[in-house]
Amino acid sequence: MTQIPVLPSPTWFVGCGNMGGAIIDGWRSAGLSLSNLVVIRPSGKAVDGVRVVTSFADAGPAPKLVVLAFKPQKLDEIAPQLKTWLTSKTVLISLLAGAEADSLKARFPKAGAIVRALPNLPVAVRRGVIALFSRDADDDVRQQVANIVAPLGFAPWMTDEAKCAAVGAVAGAGPAYVARFVDALIKAGEQRGLSTEIASTIALETVFGTAWMAAASNEGMDSIARRVASPNGTTEAGLAVLDKDQVLDQLVALAIDAAARRGTEMANEAKLAALAEPERLS
């Protein structure tokens, strides 16, 4: 039986919105104890089973582990206050899309190790993808981080930040794209007279069943598509529309390019801010 990991005491979550909440939901459903966890968030909004405070001063002893779970745009507002609480024993995990390890190191020079973790929302149901990257974590820290994210889903270590960004672009943003595709299936069902309830259930079950079948068999997507489509049949007529000039491939590639470009912009903004205010970051 896999051992349930223990969060270092204390562990701070700085911010706890969609993603922070999803990670805590995943840990809770895996049976992790949340008693070592403190959430720091300005609203003070409750998190089931977790101590919530509105300032670092109220959080208690300096943290062993800090998870940055606020928006990247807040980094320069929060870093100057947070950095004073970090020591060489603190492991810092950043969920911030686009903020690269060097930019984080410039803002949190005292942290013992900095790990970037790019998750996606299905961590809430323990079927997430979490890309991990670090420049300075030793084997012990890597093992500690791997242990605590293991209950949340598939968590590969990436060898460079470009690959980390690629996972973020595909898997981090992916649930939004899959949601849009399911929505398009639902609308198509409704247009053919199905109730919203039935259309929603069958669209979701179709996506879920296809993913489950593919994962269970390792069968390629093209092979699955061909097995559904008999020559000159109904599915083949539909696939001809999606496949014409690789229209679907191109549309998805365009969406992912746009997300990746925005990620690069955000990384550059974070680098420029670090260069612009070096005295604050020392």
Q: Which positions lie near ligand NAP, rule CB under 6 A?
A: 14-20, 40-43, 45, 69-72, 74, 77-78, 95-97, 118-121, 172
Residue placing its CB nearer to ligand NAP in the complex, 63 or 72: 72
Residue 227 beta carbon to ligand NAP: minimum distance, rounded to whole angstroms:
32
227 φ, ψ (degrees, to nearest 5):
-70, -25
Least separation in angstroms between residue 48's CB and ligand NAP is 14
> Cβ of residue 66: shortest distance to ligand NAP, in angstroms?
11
Decide: 100 and 273 in contact? Cβ < 8 Å: no
Could you tell me the smallest distance in angstroms from the CB atom of residue 59 to ligand NAP?
11
CA–CA gap between residue 195 and residue 200 (Å, rounded): 8
C-beta separation of 28 from 125 below 8 A: no
Give strand pairing partners of 116.
94, 133
Which of 109, 44, 38 lies closest to 79, judged by CA?
109
User: Locate tokens 């365009």: which residue?
Assistant: 254
Please report, in angstroms and rounded to a whole number, the separation of the first and last CA atoms in the chain.
Answer: 46
Which phi and psi (to 5°) does residue 50 adopt? -130, 140
Task: Give 115 or 121: the residue with its C-beta nearer to ligand NAP.
Answer: 121
> Closest Cα to residue 97, out of 68, 77, 76?
68
The two beta strands, 131-134 and 113-118, are antiparallel
**Distance of closest approach, residue 178 Cβ to ligand NAP, in angstroms:** 12
Closer to ligand NAP by CB, 62 or 239: give it. 62
> Which residue number places its CB atom closest to ligand NAP?
17
3-state SS class at 4: coil
- State the nearest-atom distance from the C-beta of 249 to ligand NAP, in Å: 23
Which of residues 54 and 201 has its CB atom nearest to ligand NAP in the complex?
54
Cα separation, 16 vs 19, whole angstroms: 7
CB-nearer residue toward ligand NAP: 74 or 135: 74
**Quick one: 27 or 70, whose CB is closer to ligand NAP?**
70
